[in-house]
Amino acid sequence: MPAGAESVLARLCREISAVTFQRPTIFSAFGLDPAYREALLGQTPYAVEWPVSQRFSQWLAEREPSDMLLVVDPRCCPIERVDLQRLVEDLADVRVAQFLVGMDGSASGTEELALFDDHGNIRRVQRYYDNVTRMQPRGVFAGLVPASSLRVGGQPTIESLMRIRASLASAGLPQHDITLETALVDLHQPRGVLDLNEHALRRMPSVLDGYNKLGDGVYVADTAEVDVSAVVLGPVVIHAGAQVEREALLIGPAVVGAGAVVGNQAQVVQSVVVPQAVLAPLRSARHQIAFSQQNSSSDESEYASLAEATAFSAIGLHDERSQLDPAHSRPRSRAYRWLKRITDVTVAAVGLLVTLPLTLVLAVLIKATSRGPVFFAHSREGRGGKPFNCYKFRTMAQDAHERQRELYQQSGVDGPQFKIPNDPRVTPIGRILRDWCIDEIPQLWNVLLGEMSLVGPRPSPFRENQICIPWRNARLSVRPGITGLWQICRSERSLGDFHQWIHFDILYVRTASYWLDLQIIIWTFLSLGGRRPVPVSRLLPQHKLTIWDAGQRGGGESPDGDDLTDKNSLGSVA
């Protein structure tokens, strides 16, 4: 099966060869006819065995009991390439099996659970986010398994890594799961094949060996033939030996496999034509896996018919594009991303050097006035929801985090964040550091590591981010920042300003630019860290709304003199 400009088998063989010099053995879970066996041998020099149920027991008996077996199941294929080195880098304990497990994801990235009382009234809604609080395995891509453990429980089997993982657990044998950062697709399903190929086409390099680039995103192998009257709209890859005949129409994302034929005036629309398939003249393949329509088996026909109703769309997980609605978000140019990162690294490195004497003095003061470490690290969610340790100078007593629950009812803000006036947990030196925002200097180290940026949404833990789904998706589409729009433009600190927090985070993500970042940095110093709120219209003249309780006051002006009748901005908050 194609996977962009290569085959699934070629991709797997390259990943395996990067971690072992041993020649892999390919087992098939179904009957191998001679033609299929020859096709496999033509793509790889590795051994190809007969069905696993007949040969695996004999093959396993020839292994040493101390051998560790690297088992890969191509049916559960990662959407991104995976470094198998994670499995083999630590072989200190050969008794423990390790598995690369892909987690299941929902269409929206979250599920909601409504809790009812005895009268059927909703009392509470709980949100479960993929890979954070919603942990459901989708499949196992690879495993490093002791050969001896596969003999536990009688007849050894290797037909499913999920079954191997379950059987080891039921036998009480130790094992360790490593969660994949990328999503898995099921190559048993047409949707999985389509998603894998579309994602591969998005990652095509500008130059590809053995292929000619004939247009925007159109790659044709040197030995492929495309009639001059054919219309090809990328992204499209046409493999070696394929033929696209007169007046054929190809609309990407689409892949034409090796040796396939797309007949006269045939149409391939967001589909995958398997190798050696023949798409007859005037026939069409739309959102499906196209097999040869002249000589297809019953299994192939069933597989193709299942694909007819399958929409060819990206799974939308962990890519570089903003997770906001593209109609409302500004695309990030590569120049902006690089310039922002260069500025972050430069300023963070210089800032850490300049503040080093101050850091040494503060370290002595913090240790002298209270028990505990100099620095405080708290887990926050970064870009894409990836957790990281956010560093600050410690400004509270050592048991502050444990005491938060008992003080939660005294919180003086209206959102998920926690803040109380005259917090008894704050140390005397900590109060000074907080008043002048000096406690955030260690975050320059997070910026240097690429976990944060100088400008962006405030870094928050999952507990705070889970409250509003669109807001969470927006703010986690960029790196969090030391300063940002909300930090300098907020005007309701004493009343609680969760609505402003949401508004300014989403506004920043939609309008981010290098010029806006520079303005925010400058105004952070001029406003003394936001002590004197900056009207957002000074930074973004087209956005006059500051979100100052406009719904209750019926328009008019905010205390900063901003017009409160911008319906588009108000709608973005809703």
What does the H/E/C string look like for 137-202?
A: EEEEEEEEEEHHHHHCCCCCCCCCHHHHHHHHHHCCCCEEEEECCCCEEECCCHHHHHHHHHHHHH
Do 26 and 82 fall within a single domain? yes
Specify if 318 maps to a domain: no
CATH number of domain containing 250:
2.160.10
Do 475 and 503 fall within a single domain? yes
R_g of the chain computed on alpha carbons:
29
The rounded distance, in Å, linking the Cα atoms of 289 and 305 is 9
Do 179 and 221 fall within a single domain? no
pLDDT, one tens digit per residue, over 105-139 is 766 678 888 889 999 898 888 888 877 777 777 88
Specify if 315 maps to a domain: no
Give the bridge partners for 460, in sequence order: 381
Give the bridge partners for 563, in sequence order: 557
Give the bridge partners for 388, in sequence order: 380
- In Å, the largest CA–CA distance within the chain is 84
The rounded distance, in Å, linking the Cα atoms of 174 and 490 is 52
Specify if 321 maps to a domain: no
Count: domains in the chain: 3
Place of tokens 């109380």: 420
The rounded distance, in Å, linking the Cα atoms of 425 and 434 is 13
Do 475 and 491 fall within a single domain? yes
Question: Do strands 25-28 and 218-221 pair parallel, antiparallel, or not at all (unpaired)?
Answer: unpaired
The rounded distance, in Å, linking the Cα atoms of 520 and 456 is 10
Specify if 253 maps to a domain: yes
Q: Which among 169, 186, 203 is the end of a domain?
A: 186
Q: Are 375 and 393 spatial neighbours (Cβ–Cβ below 8 Å)? A: yes
313 phi, psi to nearest 5 deg: -140, 155
Specify if 326 maps to a domain: no
The rounded distance, in Å, linking the Cα atoms of 300 and 335 is 46
Do 459 and 552 fall within a single domain? yes
Q: Which among 290, 308, 326 is the end of a domain?
A: 308
Do 146 and 261 fall within a single domain? no
134 by Cβ neighbours in 10 Å (0-12 / 13-18 / 19+) ranks as middle
Specify if 325 maps to a domain: no
Of the candidates 209, 150, 212, the one whose C-alpha atom is nearest the C-alpha of residue 175 is 150
Cα angle 112, 113, 115; round to 5: 145
pLDDT, one tens digit per residue, over 312-341 is 333 333 333 333 343 344 556 788 999 999
Place of tokens 């087209």: 542
Do 215 and 158 fall within a single domain? no
Give the bridge partners for 116, in sequence order: 122
The rounded distance, in Å, linking the Cα atoms of 84 and 481 is 33
Of the candidates 41, 133, 138, 143, the one whose C-alpha atom is nearest the C-alpha of residue 84 is 143
Do 494 and 396 fall within a single domain? yes
434-453 residues labelled b (16+ CB within 10 A) or e (exposed): beebbbbbbbbbbbbeebbb
- Say how many C-beta atoms besides its own lie within 10 A of residue 346's C-beta: 11
Q: Which among 150, 169, 186 is the end of a domain?
A: 186
Of the candidates 76, 75, 78, the one whose C-alpha atom is nearest the C-alpha of residue 318 is 78
Do 284 and 165 fall within a single domain? no
Give the bridge partners for 97, in sequence order: 175
- Say how many C-beta atoms besides its own lie within 10 A of residue 492's C-beta: 19
Specify if 324 maps to a domain: no
Tell me the residue range of the domain where 253 lies: 190-308
Of the candidates 360, 353, 354, the one whose C-alpha atom is nearest the C-alpha of residue 375 is 360
The rounded distance, in Å, linking the Cα atoms of 142 and 357 is 50
Do 524 and 382 fall within a single domain? yes
Stated length of the chain: 574
Q: What is the pLDDT tens value at each position of the chain, 574 positions in all?
A: 899 998 888 888 888 888 888 778 887 767 667 777 777 777 666 666 655 556 777 788 888 888 888 999 888 889 888 888 888 776 666 778 899 988 877 666 788 888 899 998 988 888 888 777 777 778 899 999 888 888 765 666 677 888 888 888 888 888 888 888 888 888 888 999 999 999 999 888 888 888 999 888 899 999 999 999 999 998 999 999 999 999 999 998 999 999 999 999 999 999 999 999 999 999 999 999 998 754 444 444 444 443 333 333 333 333 333 333 433 445 567 889 999 999 999 999 999 999 999 999 999 999 998 888 999 998 999 998 889 999 999 998 876 666 666 666 666 566 666 667 677 788 889 888 888 889 999 999 999 999 999 999 999 988 888 878 888 889 999 999 999 999 898 887 666 578 888 889 999 999 999 999 999 999 999 988 878 889 888 898 876 544 444 333 333 333 333 333 333 333 333 2
The rounded distance, in Å, linking the Cα atoms of 564 and 553 is 9
User: What six digits make up the tokens of 63?
Assistant: 């292994």
Do 140 and 260 fall within a single domain? no
Tell me, what DSSP letter sits at residue 46? S
CATH number of domain containing 180:
3.90.550.10
Do 420 and 489 fall within a single domain? yes
Specify if 116 maps to a domain: yes
